[in-house]
A and B are shown apart, each in its own frame.
Chain A
Amino acid sequence: MARFYNIEVASRFMLGTAGYPSPAILSDAIAASGAEIVTVSLRREGAGGQGAAFWELIRATGARVLPNTAGCKSVKEAVTTAQMAREVFDTPWIKLEVIGEDDTLQPDVFALVEAAAELTRQGFQVFPYSTDDLIVAERLLSAGCEVLMPWGAPIGSGRGLNNPYQLRSLRAHFPGVPLVVDAGLGLPSHAAAAMELGYDAILLNTAVAKAGDPVAMARAFGEAIIAGRRGFEARPIEARDMAAPSTPVAGTPFWQSG
């Protein structure tokens, strides 16, 4: 089981809900993924009232929602959006995004820490979307965050783990903190690799939503996350440079002896 702010979940997969070919495929993908937590957002409501229909669809899946502050570029915007999300979705959880740069959608980590502190003061349980910087991670924990969500690579890039060394370093520095790789993954093997590093969960959206068959890809990621976690728990061997015979050498046949 993974634990986020005293909520235990069996699945270590958090799935985004944006960009699917249809609402039906989104529903099926959530079911196939096994995810118990899905991310959602707030947008300007048009005349058609599409928001209510989407919210009904998500509620029908039974998943717990993690609202985000996507698109926010300042502390003020992020805090106001979080307040609005808390009212609409009726949850203290907030995936805090404060974007600092458009080409990479890189988090503005200074504003992120400031917004995380303010939202924690207001009773939110913050899931900060961050870079993999160690000191930023420490500041986020000091600000009251009890989960960290470093990026694997820029949002939607599908590159996988850009810096496995840094992710491993974060894991080693914060053994008791729930760590989630959020964003940038493209393949199930990327998710498995993150789980093998000892990460607690994976959050992704585009790799599933934009796959040729989103439902099949959701299932594939779900299986990869389970496999990666099991591999981590089974304590992998250390990599080494030279061969080590796997077949016992005692009792080798006569033609191999001098």
Chain B
Amino acid sequence: MQIIVNGTAHSTGAGTLAALVEELGHDAAVVATALNGDFAPRGARAATPLAEGDRVEILAPMQGG
């Protein structure tokens, strides 16, 4: 399945957002996720299915002003 992760095309076998976060090797407790522009809370990732063409954002703490 082809999806967009952080603006880049990505081929995945993950069926849910939680599985995608794990597949990418991110620390699930540190990152925040959004699906197609809407916030996807940590507790809802396992119940959030992915579909062809979905746009996923995975954000983490960074320096800011």
Contacts and interface: CB of A to CB of B under 8 A. Distances in A.
Interface of A: 16-20, 26, 39-45, 47, 49-52, 54-55, 58, 67-68, 70, 76, 80-81, 83-85, 87-89, 155, 183, 204-206, 209
A49 B26 contact: yes
B63 A49 contact: no
A16 B33 CA distance: 24
A206 B64 CA distance: 10
A87 B38 CA distance: 14
The 6 closest A-B pairs by CB, nearest first: A51-B60, A41-B64, A205-B65, A16-B65, A84-B32, A45-B60
B53 interface: no
Nearest to B63: A18
B65 A17 contact: yes
A149 to B, nearest CB: 12
Nearest to B26: A45
Interface in B1-43: 6-7, 24-27, 30-34, 37-39, 41-42
B38 to A, nearest CB: 7
B60 A88 contact: yes
A84 B34 contact: yes
Contacts of B60: 42-45, 49-52, 55, 88
B64 A39 contact: yes
Contact of B59 (A45, A50, A52): A45
A18 B61 CA distance: 12
A206 B63 CA distance: 12
Given A45-B31, A52-B27, A87-B32, A17 B64 contact: yes
Contacts of B24: 47
A89 B61 CA distance: 8
Contact of B30 (A51, A80, A183, A204): A51
A95 to B, nearest CB: 8
Nearest to B6: A44
A129 B11 CA distance: 39
Contacts of A88: 30-32, 59-61
Contacts of A49: 25-27, 30, 60
Contacts of A52: 27, 30, 60-61
B49 to A, nearest CB: 19
A111 to B, nearest CB: 16
A155 B65 contact: yes
B32 to A, nearest CB: 4
A75 B27 CA distance: 28
A110 B19 CA distance: 39
22 contacts: A17-B63, A17-B65, A18-B64, A18-B65, A19-B65, A26-B63, A41-B62, A44-B6, A44-B60, A45-B60, A50-B62, A51-B31, A51-B59, A51-B61, A52-B60, A54-B61, A54-B62, A68-B64, A80-B34, A84-B59, A85-B32, A183-B65
Given A51-B31, A85-B32, A42 B61 contact: yes
A43 B7 CA distance: 12
